[in-house]
Amino acid sequence: MKKNILLVEGSNDKAFFERVCKKHGLNYTVQVSNPVDFVPSSQGGFNSKQGVINSLTTLLPLLEDEDSSINKIAIILDADITGSNNGGFSSTISQIEVKAGEFKYNNHSHCNPGVELKHSDKNMHSLGVWIMPDNKSDGAIEHWIKDKIIESERKLFEHACDIVSKLPVTKFSDSSIAKAELATWLSWQNQPGRTVAYTLKDGNELIDINDIKYKNLIDWLKAFFN
């Protein structure tokens, strides 16, 4: 049986989306992966946004190979900040289009409510894309998560944000503020030091899985992979 690949930037993202897939019954058909799962670091692979885009060179030809074990591929990566290191939705999708275009994939279209790049051969599966947080805005997965924190955790999270904003010295960039806020908040949970995957702990979720924007992502995953 061929497998579907959901490619994400790093190990924390991988753990988070493995929980997403398990929670919504996608874990039997979707394998969450990082770039180094396909291109080892010894061969120049690396886990990052750029690593995801670069991995398309290895992965997309497998969709054309009838003997390949891969059925469909979707990627989730951060938009980051417009004007900073090729960030923002427009720059990010443009980079993906250039790379995918080498394998005869057309420009993107919005669909269900993610993004897809269709192949010039209508018999080929599209490439699925979700650019965090919402396929249009600047930001990252951390922005997508922080907007969905449940009401009972909101005051604690706001305090974490206040602490981060008042640090006398910051060693991280502006683009990493949301990551610092989440990490601070998570360090105050009953099991400090957990990653964002902890926000989806079964039976004790810290984010609202009924939030419409959460459901939008789940609807896209199900529509694309089913």
Query: E strands within 79-172?
Result: 105-111, 114-119, 127-132
pLDDT per residue as tens digits for the range 70-99: 999 999 999 999 988 879 999 999 999 999
125 shares its domain with 25: yes
Residues 146 and 191 in one domain: yes
**Is residue 97 domain-shared with residue 48, that is, in the same domain?**
yes
pTM: 0.96
CA dist list (Å): 64 to 85, 115, 186: 32, 20, 42
Residue range 25-44, pLDDT digits in tens: 999 999 999 999 999 999 88
183 and 220, same domain (yes or no):
no
Per-residue model confidence (pLDDT) at position 15: 98
Residue labelled with tokens 């810290």: 206
Domains: count for the chain? 2
At residue 33, the pLDDT reads: 98
- Largest Cα span, the chain: 57
Alpha-carbon span 96 to 90, nearest angstrom: 10
- Do residue 34 and residue 63 come from a single domain? yes
Helix, strand and coil content of the chain, in percent to the nearest 5, comes to 45, 20, 35
For residues 23 and 120, state if they share a domain.
yes
Q: Which domain does 20 fall in, by range?
A: 3-139+209-225
> Does one domain contain both 10 and 40?
yes
